A = this chain, B = another copy of it.
Amino acid sequence: MSLLLDNQFKELPPDKSIDTKLFLETVAHLPTFFDCLGSKVFSPIKSDISGNITKIRGIYLKDPTKYVTLQSILEAEREAHAAEWPKVGATLALMWLKRGLRFIQIMLQSLADGEKDENNPNLIKVNVTKAYEQALKKYHGWMVQKLFSAALNAAPYRSNFLKSLSKGEEVKEDVCLANVRQFLVNYTITVDAIYEMYTDMNAELDYTV
């Protein structure tokens, strides 16, 4: 039906802990989001995010009982790798993954809110740029920022992007945007909870690549 609604995030429990297994299952579908952008130019980004997920899953599978929540992984790694932590293991992979997730969140929210370039209403550059500036730009050196600017020209038309989110079906635009809004509810709560965990555990880094 829809790429997003087929893979909705679950509600979080009151303590906002995130079940690792459920999280990995749901997030595994998100790299295909970058296919919806329609150009092979975005495949290195898709690989980077898939790599983060593979890294976290690999660590989780070593001891699923110990690593039942995302927080339990961070705590175990802080203990085991005191010297390098948080630039290590699943802590590092999730640090970057959450930025990609935030990018997707802000871009979709901006589309759902109807933010547009009135002169080019069928372009999504404003939405992509907003998401990039808020989620990623500060972690990128000038070189990657420049590549982003160049890659931005490969962003698809709004109508084509919304269509591919609906897996190519001819869904009315307002239906598609309603789906996006529905998806964003638990998704945003989950991404916020991960950010909060990084703040609370003092696990955030701001080096640039």
Please state the number of chain copies in the assembly: 2
Interface residues, chain A, with chain B CB atoms under 8 Å away? 39-41, 43-44, 47, 143-144, 146-147, 149-151, 153-154, 209
Cβ–Cβ contact A39 & B150, under 8 A: no
Residues of B within 8 A of A151 (CB): 143, 147
Contact B144 A147 (CB under 8 A): no
- Distance (Å) between the CB of A172 and the closest chain B CB? 30
Task: Pick the residue among B41, B143, B209 that contacts A144 (CB under 8 A).
Answer: B41
Interface of A is mostly: helix
Residue of B nearest to A154 (CB): B143
Q: Can you report 20 residue pairs joining A to B where beta carbons are below 8 Å apart?
A: A39-B143, A40-B209, A41-B143, A41-B144, A41-B147, A43-B44, A44-B44, A44-B47, A47-B47, A143-B150, A143-B151, A143-B153, A143-B154, A146-B150, A146-B153, A147-B147, A147-B150, A147-B151, A149-B150, A150-B150
Q: Which 10 A-B pairs have the closest CB atoms?
A: A44-B44, A150-B150, A146-B150, A143-B154, A147-B150, A41-B143, A40-B209, A147-B147, A143-B153, A147-B151
Closest to A151 in B: B147
**A143 — nearest CB in chain B belongs to which residue?**
B154
A120 to B: closest C-beta gap in Å: 18
A47 to B47, alpha carbons, bound, how many Å?
10
Q: Given A41-B147, A146-B153, A149-B150, 17 more contacts at CB 8 Å?
A: A39-B143, A40-B209, A41-B143, A41-B144, A43-B44, A44-B44, A44-B47, A47-B47, A143-B150, A143-B151, A143-B153, A143-B154, A146-B150, A147-B147, A147-B150, A147-B151, A150-B150
